[in-house]
Amino acid sequence: MGGDRSQEFMALADCGEDSIAFCSSPFCGYAANASVAAVAEETYVDEAERPLEKWVATPEKRTAEEVAAFFGVPVNRIVKTFLYESPAGRYAVLVRGDHELEEEKLRVALRDPALRRIDDEQEVVRIAGAPFGSLGPIDLELPVLADLSLRGLPNCIVGGNREGTHHRNVNLERDVQVGRFVSLRRVEEGDRCPRCGAPLSFRAGIEIGHIFQLGTKYSESLGARFLDSEGNPLPLIMGCYGIGVSRLVAAVIERHHDEKGIVWPVDLAPFPVAITLLGPRDSEQQEMAARLASLLARDRIDSLVDDRDETPGEKFHDAELVGFPVQVVLGRKGLARGEVELHVRSTGDVVPASLAAGAAGVARAVREALAALSQGSD
C-alpha cells in the first residue's frame, strides 16, 4: 500500500493463514507478522581479523553445509549470496549460512514489490561468472544488502565467483562494499525478541484488520495539497484502513465453537434466537411462534422460526450446529404444562419459561437470557 509503517490486527486461530511471532515474556508485548518480524541483533566474541584468502578450491561443494564441513567451521560462518532483480535494477543479497532469506523483508527494505530472485543458473553465470554454490559479494559490481546478523561476523567464508572456489577469512566491513545492513532473515522459533531478548514463539492467526500510514506517497503524485498557516502548499499526510469482514466471521467462529458447531456471541449472531416447533402442524405452536417472533422483532431481536417437517433430534442438532445463542422450544407436552424451554447454546442449560403471561412473558425471559449472555461474553 505504500508508506513506511502499518499495523495489523490479528486473531489467533489454528486455521489462520498468517504466522505470528510474539515475545514469550508476559511483560513485553512484542508481536509481528512472521514475514516482517525482527530479532535481537547478534553479538560475536572478539576475534582478530585474519588475512583474506581468495579462491580456495572447494570442488563440488555447493551448499552452506557442504562448504562448512569442508573448512571445518560452523555453518553460521558461511555467507550465502543471492541475486535479485526488478525494473529498478539488480542486487546481491547476503544472509548467514544457517538462516533463510525472507523475501518480504527484502521487498520492504528496497521498497520494490516487483523484486524477484534470479533462479536461472545460466543467467547467474553471465552476471557473476560463477554458478550457484560459488556466488559471493567480493568484486561483484552490484549493490549489496546484508542481513543484520552478518554485521561484525568475523572471518567468514563467501563464494569466490569462480566455479568450485570460495574466499576464506572474509570480514564484510573490510572486504565488501555493503550498501546496507538490514533485517532480512526469516525469524525462527526461539530467536530472541528485538525488544527484550526473551525467546520468540509462533502461532497461526487470521488478519482481521490493517491500518496503513501512507505518508505523502500518493498525495505527492496526485498533487493533493493543503495550505499551512503561512499559506505554503504542502502534500497531504494520508492513511487508510481496512476490515476483512469475511475473515472477521471466520475468526469469530474459530474463537467461539465447540464439538457441536458454532457458538455465536449474542451481538454477532445472524439470528440471536431460534424458535423451534416440535409439532410444526400444531396450530397452537404456530400461533405462539408467530406471536413470540413479533414481540421479539419489536425489540429489534431477530429470530428464525424452524417449522420444518423434521424430527426434533434433527432440529436440535441443526440449532447447535448453526449456533443460535438461545433456542425457544415449543412442544405439545410443554404447552400442556404451561411452559416452554429455553436452550442456552453456550452453557447447555435448559431453562423453563412460564406461559402464565403468555408470549409476552416468554419474550421477556428471552430478553433476559440474551442480556445475561451479552454481559458475560468476551
Cβ distance 1 to 240 under 8 Å? Answer: yes
| Whether the predicted pLDDT of 320 surpasses 60 | yes
What is the DSSP track for 81-129? EEEEEETTEEEEEEEETT--B-HHHHHHHHT-TT-EE---HHHHHHHHS
Provide, for the chain, the percentages of residues in helix, strand and coil under a 3-state DSSP scheme, each rounded to the nearest 5. 30, 30, 40
Across all residues in the chain, what is the average pLDDT? 93
List, for residues 10-41, the tens digit of each pLDDT value: 888 888 889 999 999 999 999 999 998 999 98
Number of residues that make up the chain: 378
Mean pLDDT of 287-301: 93
Q: Is the dihedral of CA 69, 71, 72, 78 positive or negative?
A: negative
| Whether the predicted pLDDT of 70 surpasses 80 | yes
Mean pLDDT of 287-312: 94
What is the DSSP track for 141-197? -S-EEEEGGGTT--SEEEE-SSTTEEEEEE-HHHHS--SEEE--BPP-TTPBPTTT-
Task: Tell me the percentage of the chain whose pLDDT exceeds 70.
Answer: 98
How many angstroms from the chain centroid is the CA of residue 252?
A: 15
| Whether the predicted pLDDT of 3 surpasses 70 | no
Structure confidence at residue 197 (pLDDT): 93
What pTM, to 2 d.p., does this model score?
Answer: 0.71
Mean pLDDT of 103-111: 91
Structure confidence at residue 244 (pLDDT): 87
Among 227-231, 242-246, 349-353, name the one with the lowest average pLDDT: 242-246
List, for residues 109-124, the tens digit of each pLDDT value: 998 888 999 999 999 9
Burial of 276-295, coded b for 16+ CB within 10 Å and e otherwise, reads bbbbbebeebbebbeebbeb
CATH number given to 261-376: 3.40.50.800
Structure confidence at residue 71 (pLDDT): 96
| Whether the predicted pLDDT of 4 surpasses 80 | no
Structure confidence at residue 142 (pLDDT): 94
Cβ distance 159 to 48 under 8 Å? Answer: no
Rg (CA), the chain: 32
List, for residues 258-280, the tens digit of each pLDDT value: 999 999 999 999 999 999 999 99
In which residue ranges of the chain is CATH 3.40.50.800 found?
A: 261-376
Structure confidence at residue 1 (pLDDT): 67
Phi-psi region of 364 (alpha: psi -120 to 50; beta: other; left: phi over 0): alpha
Q: Which of 12, 54, 51 is nearest to 33 (CA)?
A: 12
Structure confidence at residue 187 (pLDDT): 94
Structure confidence at residue 13 (pLDDT): 85
Look at the block and give the residue holding cell 546496507.
180
Structure confidence at residue 2 (pLDDT): 65
- From the CB of residue 91, how many other CB atoms can be counted at a distance below 10 Å? 21
In which residue ranges of the chain is CATH 3.90.960.10 found?
A: 44-182
List, for residues 305-316, the tens digit of each pLDDT value: 999 999 999 999
Domain 44-182: which CATH class?
alpha beta
Mean pLDDT of 68-92: 95
Structure confidence at residue 138 (pLDDT): 95
| Whether the predicted pLDDT of 378 surpasses 60 | no
- Residue 239 binned pLDDT confidence (cut-offs 50, 70, 90): very high
Among 66-70, 283-287, 346-350, 374-378, name the one with the lowest average pLDDT: 374-378
Q: How far apart are CA 367 and CA 369, in angstroms?
A: 5
